[in-house]
Each structure stands twice: as C-alpha cells, then as structure tokens.
Amino acid sequence: MATQIPKRFLISGLSVLCGVLGMMSCITSSLAAEAPAAGPAPKLLFDPAAPGADKLIAPTSTQVSATVGNDGITLTLPGGPEGYPGIVIKPATGETWDLSAYGHAEAKITNLGEKNTRIEFALEMETGRTPFSTDKISLAPGESKTVSVVFGYFYGVYSRKFNTAAVKQIRLYAGSKSAETRKFRIEQIQAAGAAGEKIPVPVVKYKIVPKPANGVLFDAATKIQDPKQLVGGKDGGKIALSADGAALEVDFTGDKEQSVTLKGSWNLNEHLQVKVKVKNVGQTPVTPGVRVEDINLHGSETVTSGAPLAPGAEAEITVPFEAKTPWKGIVDPAQEVNEGPAKRWENEGQPGTGTLFRSNLTSGISIFSDKTPGAKKLRVTSIIASLPPPAQLPDWVGQKPPVAGDWVKTFDEHFDGAAINLKTWNIYGDNFWDPRTHFSKDNTIIKDSKLILRLEKKYGDHNDDPKGKDTDYATGYADTYGKWTQRYGYFEARMKLPTAPNMFLAFWMMPDRGLAAGPQWKRCSTGKLTGTVGNDTGVGGMEMDIMETLSIWGPYRHDFGTHWDWYGKTHKSMGMFTAYVPPDKDGFITVGMLWTPGLIVMYDNGKEAARWESPRISDIPSYFMFDLVTGGWESEPLDDTKLPADFVVDYVRAWQRKDLASPLDGPKPNDGTPAAPTK
C-alpha cells in the first residue's frame, strides 16, 4: 500500500521507521511510562572515556562523522540524500547486552545545530521480524532532552516481545534526510527502570477537526464565531457578515480578479462537494467563482456560475472535490529521475493533473470575482457540504476491461460459498503493519455473497496460533500468494469502506515469483542487487496499490500507488493520495487497474482517475491482497465504541489480454491450507 512516505511492507528497522515517522508527523502522543517498581541502578551502555570506545561506533553511512570525547559523542550529519543517518553502537564485551533487569534505555541528546531537528533513538536486535524498540524526541537548536525507549514498544505502542537478554546494538539517528548540516551531542546512554516497565494508553494530541452538523459551514442559523474568519483577499476584495447575521456580504471593485475567504476548520470527509448559494445584489453583472481549500492551501478546482449573474439573479455553485483532470505520473523513459534516494517521486504528478486537496482538513471557502469593470456585490446565503447523487457506472464495469482487445476473464470471485475458498485465498500471514491487531479466521467472513474483513476488539493469538503474538484486536485478511497470480491484465473490485476511526486498509497486488524463489516475505531492503526472493519489489517487481485508504480520509477517498526497488535506501514510489469517488446506491465504490507493459491506469467507478507510463512498471506475476488493520501515517485515535469495523468486498475480477498471457498466470496447485504454501 503506497503513501507519501514508504509505509507498507516495511520490514527492516529503517524502512519501518519511514512509515511511522510519516504517521507521527500527523499524530504526537504524550506517553509517560507507568511508575515502575524500583529497579536496579542504571547500567551504562557506552562509556566515552573507556579505552577503545570509538571502536564500538559505526556510522550508518559515509555522510556521518562521529567523534568520541569525555563529554560523549559528537555526531555531525552533513546535508545529503541519505535517509535516517546516524550511528550504531555495539557492546564493549560479548555480542549482546543482557538488559533483562531493566525496563527502558535512554540517552541525553543536545542539538548543536541551527535547525529544528527530530532525532530518533532505537534499540535493535537481529532476531525476529521486527526486532527493535524505538521512540523519538524533537529538539530545537541548543535544546537538550532525554529520549527514553521502553523495551517492547514502538513509538509508544506495544509491538512485540523484546528479548532484553540479548540486545545486539543501539542505533541513534536523525529523522529523514536533510539539505542542512546537523550536529548533536549524545551522552548518558544507559539502561534504567525495572523489568516489565509499560507505557499506558497514549494521550493523543492529534488535532481533531470538527465535522459540521449536516455539512453546514454557513447559513442563517450557523453563526460566524470569530470575525477573523472573514478574510479579504486578492487585490482588495471585502467580506463582512450582514447586519442580521443571515448572509455574507461580498464586495468587489475594479477590473481585476479579486477574492475573499471564509476561514474555518472543517472535516468534510463524509462529503464530496460544497454548494454555495449566491445572489448578485449589486448593479453590475458578475460571474463569481468558488474554490474549497485545505490547511496547506491546496485547493479544489475553481468552479464559476457559468453565465454572468445579472443584478438580482441567484445561483448555486457546486464545487466537487474530485479532480477535473485525471492524475498523470511523471514520464521519464530513461528513469534518470528515479536514480538514488534523493530523487524519490512520491505523490508527484504532471502539472495540471489530479488534485492535492484534502477534505478532512478543509480550512477555507474562497469566492472570486471576474474582471468585469465596476463595483460588484454578492450576498452568500449558504455554504453546505454534501454528497452528489449515487454514482451511475458505465455498463462495462464488472463485465469487461475498459479498453479494446482480445480479453479473457481469468478470475471471478463473488464469494457465494459458505466460507472463503482456501484453494484460492490465504487468511493467515505476517502482519508487518500493525502491532495492535492479529489475523483470525473468525474475522474473515463470508456473508450474503460478500467477503467481510472485520476488525473488532477481541483478544487472541495471531493466525489463531497459540505461539503467535497475542493482541487485543482481531481482524481479517485475505491474499492469493502461492495460489493465484497474473502478469498484466485488468483487475477490479467492488468495495464498501469502513468509517470507524484509525482504520488502514487496502486492495493491492505484490510480486509472486513462485515458491522456488524462497519465503514469501524475505527480501533485501538495502537496495543492493543480491538476487530476488518471494515477493521482493526489486529487479522488475513492484507493489501496486489499487485502492489504499485511511478512514480519517472518509469512505469516498483513497490513494493509488506503486513502490519498487525494495523498501530501504533505494526505495522509490509513484502515486497520488487524493482520489475522490462517489458511492453507488448501495454505498460501494468500484476500483480497477489496467496493467500492461510500461503502463498502469487506475479507474474509479469506470472513470480514469490516474495514469502512469514507465519502463520500470512491473513485469512480474503478482497476487491479490486485502487487509484491514489499525493505524496508518495519518490517523485519528482508535475508538472501541465504533467497532466492529467492516471492510466489505462484493467481488474481485480479473481479465487477461490473450497476447499478454503467460504460462505463470492463473491458479497454482495447493492443498487448501489457510496459510500461504511453502516449499
């Protein structure tokens, strides 16, 4: 699943942190460890005054300079393309530290640079899937703070059992790459606290944006709370509240385009458009325009009244959130733009295509004048967010691909059995994306000829295995790894998305090179060409996110994305994050992907929504995945009262163009076990 930061299939420590750092830029938690029982005296993990101390430190890249002195480690990070640069510290004696008597590790960090810099402090061990505990602090210039990492926790969330008896290394590093030189002093690296230390439920400091009642941003009954909400704009436009408070009075003068804005903070993620009622109460005809904007001043399309409004005339201007022009990815046949970690493409598109507007963070409604000479006066009586009528899909949707060709249907899953077909689907697998949930057969449900992945608060073991990680939340999962694959074709699913907060879900595809290639999830995340295994995204492979979303975006917005060349330093991606799609009469959206050599085209309800052409587009057979977990890189707090949450899939279909067919396409022999086959 694709994001503005690499976030899915984040296996190595650094690649996992890429995803969570993006999430934590939107969510910060006030986390204080529970008062533990008195522990042993702190244990110094690095003594800068000890002989040979400098030999215990290894920079993570050639950018990094680390000098050991009596006052600690001075860490200098020159500006450059390296992501998360820092150092690794090894034990002075033996291969590991035994910290089983302690509850956390800590280090004092001083920012010696001139720029605000976020620094992460991580402890890592090299056994298990995610063998590390980590947390972070933010430092202003000259500021000193102590970063504390409670063992077993990942940014304040319990992750996995952490083997404190065999901690292999400490990693300290600055968050993300920077063009600026950064400098830090690191002191007092030690273990402390009592074994079994825990972090309580976090106090989330996420800015909760209110949802306007019935979508009303302004009308006669909705009062303007602060005069500062009314902002005059470009070239002298003026806006004021009418004497009776029932309307906004807008004045434009001259022959230049002017604007005014009603400022606010609204979460419009349940809506797909804004309707603005205006009346020309002046003496000059005027053609007003309206745009909806978010906190980063990314705007919707500007929509006008069309014909000029004569004096006394009224109009209702409807501004959709959906992009007027489908998004197009950057075309670079030589792939030069993609070379190196400094040139990742995330969310870049061709100018004039797609939209960056985020409805859940709406901050303003701007009204524009035309260039007609003379004084112009408008009266705005209502601004209301709403949904359009139910989507009417083209006849071909669900029946055939959107383009001509000699096509054959190759996959037609409509979930009409009593249970999910385990000859086609796996319901167990690794959960790398969410430490809070476990997969359970009871949460992968077939009902009314639909697949339901249900997330609920229910204690249990991952994959229903007593040896699996136990968590408080159960969820469903389905993929076709080792059971069905296809290279190229058209792939489509009809889905209803959950609305409970903190949901993170997707319909996507990953490479499947066959069982002989090795374990499903083993991969090289360093970006070095060491061969390919499993569903590695290097050497022709690619993650393709057909529909990925966060419930904070609402049930009518999702992203498209591609990720390739592993998930470490060489990771690259191309995608967009603001695809708005109206539901049909039953509340479902239908999303599809056309995949041919050098081309990916995404469709929402039968309309082209995104297109990318590149010779790097995957040529490896791939398999389907559906998942529903908590979290994500942008999220509201989880609310147990809103659970269970259901991700509902009506059907999944695929077609293949005959001239592109491969012997590797189609179902694979398997024994119908609920987990992916192994060698």
Rounded Cα gap, residues 600 and 589, in angstroms: 19
Mean pLDDT score of the chain: 85
Q: For 503-548, what is each residue's pLDDT tens digit?
A: 999 999 999 988 887 766 554 343 343 455 556 777 888 999 999 9
28-204 against 213-266+271-337+350-386: fold identical? yes
| Superfamily of domain 213-266+271-337+350-386 in the CATH hierarchy | Galactose-binding lectin (2.60.120.430)
Q: Where are the domains of the chain?
A: 28-204, 213-266+271-337+350-386, 407-667
Q: For 36-77, what is each residue's pLDDT tens digit?
A: 456 899 999 999 999 999 999 998 887 789 999 988 999 988
Task: Look at strands 607-613 and 327-328 and give their pairing.
Answer: parallel
Q: Which fold has domain 407-667?
A: Jelly Rolls (2.60.120)
pTM of the model: 0.76
First to last CA, the chain: 27
Q: How far is CA 164 from the centre of its chain?
A: 31
What residue spans of 419-518 are helical by DSSP H? Answer: none
User: Which residues on adjacent β-strands are paired with residue 321?
Assistant: none
Question: What does the pLDDT read at residue 423?
Answer: 97
Q: Which fold has domain 28-204?
A: Jelly Rolls (2.60.120)
Determine the average pLDDT of the residues in 305-319. Answer: 97
Burial class (CB in 10 A: 0-12, 13-18, 19+), 335: exposed
Determine the average pLDDT of the residues in 176-196. Answer: 86
Pick the more confident residue, 425 or 177.
Answer: 425
Whether the per-residue pLDDT at 339 is higher than 80: the answer is no
Q: Helix (H, G, I), strand (E, B), or coil: what is residue 553?
A: helix
The DSSP H or E segment spanning 440 is: none
Q: For 421-437, what is each residue's pLDDT tens digit?
A: 999 999 999 888 888 89
Residue found under tokens 């192994």: 678
Which backbone phi and psi does 117 adopt, to 5 degrees? -135, 135
Which backbone phi and psi does 516 adopt, to 5 degrees? -65, -20
Which backbone phi and psi does 270 adopt, to 5 degrees? -95, 5
